Amino acid sequence: MRLLMLGGTEFVGRAVTDAALGRGWEVTVFHRGRHPAPSGVRILTGDRTTGASGLAALAGGTWDLVVDTWSGAPSAVRDAARALAARAGHYSYVSSRSVYAHPAPAGLPEDGPLVAGASPDAGPDVPYALAKRGGELAALDAFGDRALLARAGLILGPGENIGRLPWWLARTARGGPVIAPGPPDAALQYIDARDLADWLLDAAEKGLQGAYNTVSRPGHTTMGELLESCVRVTGSDAELRWTAPEVLLAAGVEPWTDLPVWLPAGEDYDSLHRGDVTKAHEAGLRCRPVGETVADTWAWMRGLGGTVPHRPDRPAVGLDARTEAKLLGAPGSA
């Protein structure tokens, strides 16, 4: 198989590139050159944000599969997909379950209502949900039934540059009392980037098309198991202080950002952690145990000196030390 990876140097794109190389595929990486590409790939350099001129390096060549993780202007997906439609067999676009109209009820399948107002011609100044839906429309417009839409949710694993799991690992590595958002048995739904990558490549070989919710089954792990795995792999003396959601919210703690991954019960929790993933799992999606994801992410972080990577185009995550200290002394933390 000949793969064209649009991106391919960070997180999900890198996971796809590594998985394809591991299968012995011929891999071409098209990127801006800001990060080193893995060895063993053919490198094409360009900038999708500059319009058609930035795609000049893609003027020649044919591929069996294109994988695109773009989350900015839908017009960038539009331009690339149109340029490649006659020279690529299949287009896999890594989308998001954010494309569903909010609030997405628990158990929502792929044919649920979608956000309104998305356009494949939109520029960079559109909200994330509209950007991803616009990207979907662009892929479908150019490739039709040769397009696969992988609607991921929370993505974790080695290479994560958003900082969610890395923040928890760094915090537990410091040890001492750690605010943990309760309840510990709250079920989580996510996917390891490497499992997503493997499924994308398998799906392309099978010729799958259309939309798939590509995350674990609800309850694949829990908040308790995730954080206990962080304590275990870091080998620290961290003590998880499980704190009631109402205490956290009353203190102004922002779910998802101040305490990454965590959402209290309600509409947002149902949308993110209780989606219907029957279709993807019947099509072969397999998700590794959370302990493996946590351990491998910690090993990757240690190779970086234990730092928490952070994409400059995304807001920083994590609870500040002063707020945590106040919460540790508040009733409801135990």
The domain that holds 29 is classified in CATH as: 3.40.50.720
pLDDT > 90? residue 315? no
Which of 131, 152, 173 finishes a domain?
Answer: 152
Where residue 41 falls among pLDDT bands split at 50, 70, 90? very high
Average pLDDT over residues 281-292: 98
310 plus 170 within the same structural domain: yes
In a domain, 213, yes or no: no
Spell 106-115 as b/e; 16+ CB within 10 A means b: eebebebebb
Query: CA–CA distance from 83 to each of 22, 54, 104, 159 (Å)?
Result: 28, 12, 34, 29
113 plus 10 within the same structural domain: yes
pLDDT of res. 88: 98
3-state secondary structure of 306: coil
Name the percent of the chain lying above pLDDT 90: 91
131 plus 170 within the same structural domain: no
Where residue 51 falls among pLDDT bands split at 50, 70, 90? confident
The whole domain housing 115 covers 2-152
Report the amino acid identity of residue 170.
A
169 plus 264 within the same structural domain: yes
Distance CA 154, CA 11 (A): 13
DSSP single-letter state for residue 54 = G
3-state secondary structure of 291: helix
Check if the beta carbon of residue 3 is closer than 8 Å to that of residue 92: no
Query: CA–CA distance from 231 to each of 48, 245, 298 (Å)?
Result: 41, 21, 11
Q: Where are the alpha helices (DSSP H) in the chain?
A: 11-22, 74-84, 128-143, 164-174, 193-206, 223-234, 245-250, 267-273, 278-282, 290-303, 321-328
Average pLDDT over residues 82-94: 98
Report the amino acid identity of residue 195.
D
The angle subtended at Cα 115 by Cα 137 and Cα 98, nearest 5°, is 90
211 burial (CB, 10 Å; 0-12 / 13-18 / 19+) is buried
Check if the beta carbon of residue 223 is closer than 8 Å to that of residue 159: no
Nearest to 157 by CA among 198, 218, 107: 198
In a domain, 285, yes or no: no
Distance CA 10, CA 226 (A): 23
181 plus 322 within the same structural domain: yes
108 plus 227 within the same structural domain: no
In a domain, 119, yes or no: yes
135 plus 166 within the same structural domain: no
pLDDT > 70? residue 331? no
Which of 152, 169, 202 finishes a domain?
Answer: 152
Report the amino acid identity of residue 302.
R
Chain centre to alpha carbon of residue 153:
6
pLDDT of res. 314: 80
pLDDT > 60? residue 229? yes
pLDDT in tens, 239-277: 999 999 999 999 999 999 999 999 999 999 999 999 999
29 plus 128 within the same structural domain: yes
Range of lowest pLDDT (118-122, 128-132, 200-204, 314-318):
314-318
98 plus 179 within the same structural domain: no
Nearest to 54 by CA among 31, 34, 35: 31
In a domain, 74, yes or no: yes
Where residue 52 falls among pLDDT bands split at 50, 70, 90? confident
pLDDT > 80? residue 330? no
26 plus 139 within the same structural domain: yes
168 plus 268 within the same structural domain: yes
Distance CA 287, CA 147 (A): 23
129 plus 231 within the same structural domain: no
pLDDT > 90? residue 120? yes
Q: Taking the model in full, what pTM does it have?
A: 0.96
Nearest to 94 by CA among 69, 131, 120, 130: 69
pLDDT in tens, 168-181: 999 999 999 999 99
The count of structural domains within the chain is 2
Which of 127, 152, 177 finishes a domain?
Answer: 152
